[in-house]
Amino acid sequence: MEDILELVALDVETTGLDPVEDRIVEIALLRIKEGSIVEKLVTLLNPEIRIPPDVSSIHGITEEKIKGAPFFRDIARKVFDFINGKVLLVHNADFDIPFLKKELKLCGLELSGIKVIDTLAIARAQFCFSNNSLSTIAAYYKIDTSGSHRAEADAIMTYKIYCRLLEELQRKK
């Protein structure tokens, strides 16, 4: 793998699993240059639909917590500018990217031709973890999992996992 000097670690928390029906309730974008977080965009969002209690029990984001939070449309341009032309680092891109594309499209912004590094895909292809959840892989590498299922903590874990996976792949060469 080539060295990438700048990445944007991405994580979203949502109202459910369906990118067509569900919405983003929290987003974290962390711009990482040469190993350091140099800029962040982290916010709760008002999804404009109900957050089911069973979903709130996973990420801890309740109707009460999103009162006064911006709508995605309020930050859409900022999100687009933050990630446009960057390499996105995601754990389970098949989940996060469709949500992000949908929200941007609803705001008239088209996310196309993005480059994505998916730590889930790397883990599945190269390693035999008991399961490939973010928390399981983080625990395997002794990466702090406190705050998991919140967007910023998960984005940080994703970056740390990426670094460890790269180290392992380089050792395998």
Q: What is the pLDDT along the chain (173 residues), one digit of tens a residue?
A: 445 679 999 999 999 999 999 999 999 999 999 999 999 999 999 999 999 999 999 999 999 999 999 999 999 999 999 999 899 999 999 999 999 999 999 999 998 888 999 999 999 998 888 889 999 999 999 999 999 999 999 999 999 999 999 998 888 87
The C-alpha atoms of residue 27 and residue 25 are separated, in whole angstroms, by: 7
pLDDT of residue 4: 66
- Provide the whole-model pTM: 0.94
CA distances from 115 to 71, 87, 95, 112, 159 (A): 26, 5, 15, 9, 16
Q: CB within 8 A of 76, min separation 6: which ones?
A: 103, 104, 107, 109
The C-alpha atoms of residue 152 and residue 68 are separated, in whole angstroms, by: 19
Q: Which residues are catalytic?
A: 149
| Terminal Cα distance for the chain, rounded | 11
The structural domains of the chain, ordered by start, are 6-172 (3.30.420.10)
pLDDT of residue 129: 81
pLDDT of residue 113: 82
H helix runs in the chain, sequence order: 53-59, 63-66, 72-83, 93-106, 119-126, 134-140, 151-172
Strand 87-90 to strand 6-14: parallel, antiparallel, or no bridges (unpaired)?
parallel
pLDDT of residue 1: 43
Tokens for 56, please give them.
């709130």
C-beta of residue 92 within 8 angstroms of C-beta of residue 124 = no
